[in-house]
Each structure stands twice: as C-alpha cells, then as structure tokens.
C-alpha cells in the first residue's frame, strides 16, 4: 500500500464514517463528517506512503488543506 486511493462519498442518511486498515507501512485511516453543509475529512497515512484523495467536488467547491485554500481541479 504505497499509494492509497480514498474516495469518501456522503449519501442520504450517512453523515459520518470512519475506517482504518493496517498496511506494511503502518495504519491508513480516514474519518469524515458532514458539518454545516461542508465535508470535513481527516486522512492519516504512514510515512513512505502516498494518498490520492478523491473528493466529491463541484465547480463551486472550496478545498482547504491544513488551513490553506487550494485550487479545485
């Protein structure tokens, strides 16, 4: 698991989810929740791994990573 793809998908009736898996490099975990109309995601990956975070964004979405706004696209 050097490259981990994570794609949280909130749905009607599902406003929070949490999961983790142990890999050869360490634990990969995700915790997401809908908070006031926004999707808040906490993703932890072990040192030496990379993550591809596939978010359900639209043209008007704002993405914030570690408190900094990043380009949608």
Using CB atoms within 10 Å of the CB of residue 53, give its burial: 0 to 12 exposed, 13 to 18 middle, 19+ buried: middle
- The answer for residues whose C-beta is within 8 angstroms of residue 61's C-beta and 6 or more apart is 55, 72
What is the 8-class DSSP label of residue 14?
Answer: B
pLDDT digits (tens, 9 = 90+) for 29-58: 999 999 888 899 999 999 999 999 999 888
Proportion of the chain above pLDDT 90, given as a percent: 58
Q: pTM of the full predicted structure?
A: 0.81
């Amino acid at each position: 698991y050097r490259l981990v793809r994570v794609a949280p998908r909130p749905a009607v009736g599902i406003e929070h989810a949490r999961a983790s898996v142990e890999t050869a490099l360490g634990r990969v975990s995700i915790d997401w929740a809908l908070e006031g109309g926004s999707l808040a995601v906490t993703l932890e990956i072990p040192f030496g791994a990379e993550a591809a975070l596939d978010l359900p964004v639209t043209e008007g979405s704002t993405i914030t990573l570690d408190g900094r706004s990043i380009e949608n696209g």
